Structure 1
Amino acid sequence: MYAIPLTPTAELRPLEPWQAPEFLAHIDRARAHTDRWIPWATYSTDLDSARATLQSYADKQAADRGRVHGIWQEGTLVGGVMFVHFDAASGTCEIGVWSEPAGEGHGLVTAAVRHLLDHAFVTRGLHRAEWRTNPLNTRSRSVARRLGMTLDGTLRRSATHHGTRIDIEVWSLLSHEWEGTASGTDPARADGLPG
């Protein structure tokens, strides 16, 4: 297994079905915090459903349609990042993130997303990455801004969350806006994520 250092005490690693017990414990800690913004925690309420969530991303990875990585801070899973959708043929992807409170305020999500963007744009040659968020989620919007994304627009009342219609903002970044500038990395270097 590989690990990508994010800080001296944090790393990005694959999150796989065999890690379902650790993932469920993390989701239980994150549930109240994440569920107000995204339904991510509602998918994993017991060991079987946690394993199924991780298996769905293992299946996506095998089909080259998505993947999920965890963020560990001092050995504890505190959040993660994922390619919600990954379409090499069309050159597009969507990135999603989540965190429990212990994972916030350290720049871990932003650092992890930088690796996903390098993988998408530099390693895989994609053209466009999207970020979708609730307009009221100021932390998520701040990450999109820090990454140099542009707000494309708002899909008014396009989703339902807890029985309420909500707006979804769509942010995007194009490959030429990323490579060699915002990433802070040398585009000639590998990002460490297997292709």
Structure 2
Amino acid sequence: MFVHVVDEEIYLKLVDQNDAERLFKLTDRSRCHLRQWLPWLDYTNSVNDTRLYIRESRNSFARHKSMNTAVVYKDKVVGVAGFNEFDWNNRSGSIGYWLDKHYTGRGIILRSVKALTQFAFTEMKLNRVEIRAAKENVKSRAIAERLGFQLEGYLRESEWLYDHYVDHAVYGMLAKDWNR
């Protein structure tokens, strides 16, 4: 099982069925906070929905298509961060993340995404890591910017969020730039 220590407070581990109740509880209590930017909240209405997500995540990991990890802060699961998808032909991956509203503002996601990016370049030998966020999602975009990802452009009406489209800001980091 994949476990990656970020620092003395945080580690990342593959999501597993033991996390289902906790992840659902976090999702449910952060629903309004998360709904503004994430399109899957209406499909996560029970612990069983979360169990299905975990099963699909594990299957996708086994096929080397993605890697979703639970973010564990001070021994509590507080969110999810990982690679939504890999493109092995082009040696690239796309990072996504969300955090329970009660744990924002502590640098947890910043440190987790930094560790995932480092892992991608050193252990997985990827050439490119991408982060996409809604153009208006200032907090999520700040993660990419603080880590030195380059804003590469915008994808117009890239994602349907319940009743409207949002544009995405696309950030990229190359292995050669990360290692500088």
TM-score (norm 1): 0.85
C-alpha separation between the residues in 1 aligned to 2:9 and 2:121?
27
Mapped partners of 1:111, 1:40: distance in 2 = 24
Deviations along 1:47-101, one digit per CA (max 9) or x if unpaired, are 2211111111101110011011112233332212010011222211100010112
Deviations 1:140-177 (A, max 9, x none): 11101011111111111122111202111111111111
Post-superposition offset of 1:5: 4.1
Partners in 2 of 1:109 and 1:77 — Cα distance? 12
Once residues 80 and 72 of structure 1 are traced to their aligned partners in structure 2, the CA distance between those partners, rounded to angstroms, is 9
1:6–1:111 CA contact under 8 A, matched in 2:
yes
How much is the aligned-residue C-alpha RMSD, in angstroms? 1.7
Task: Give the total of aligned pairs.
Answer: 180
How far apart, in 2, do the equivalents of 1:2 and 1:90 lie?
23
Match of 1:140 in 2: 140
Deviation at 1:33?
Answer: 0.9
Identical residues among aligned pairs (%): 26
Query: How do residues 35-46 of structure 1 correspond to structure 2 at under 5 angstroms?
Result: 35-46=35-46
Aligned runs of 1:141-180 on 2, under 5 Å?
Answer: 141-179=141-179
Tell me, yes or no, if structure 1 residue 48 matches structure 2 residue 28.
no
Deviation at 1:3, TM superposition (A): 4.6
| Helix, strand or coil at the partner of 2:26 | helix
1:30–1:41 CA contact under 8 A, matched in 2: no
Q: Which runs of 5+ in 1 are unaligned?
A: 182-195
Unaligned 5+ runs, structure 2: none
CA-CA distance at 1:135 after TM superposition: 1.0
Aligned to 1:21: 21
Q: Which residue of 2 aligns with 1:185?
A: none
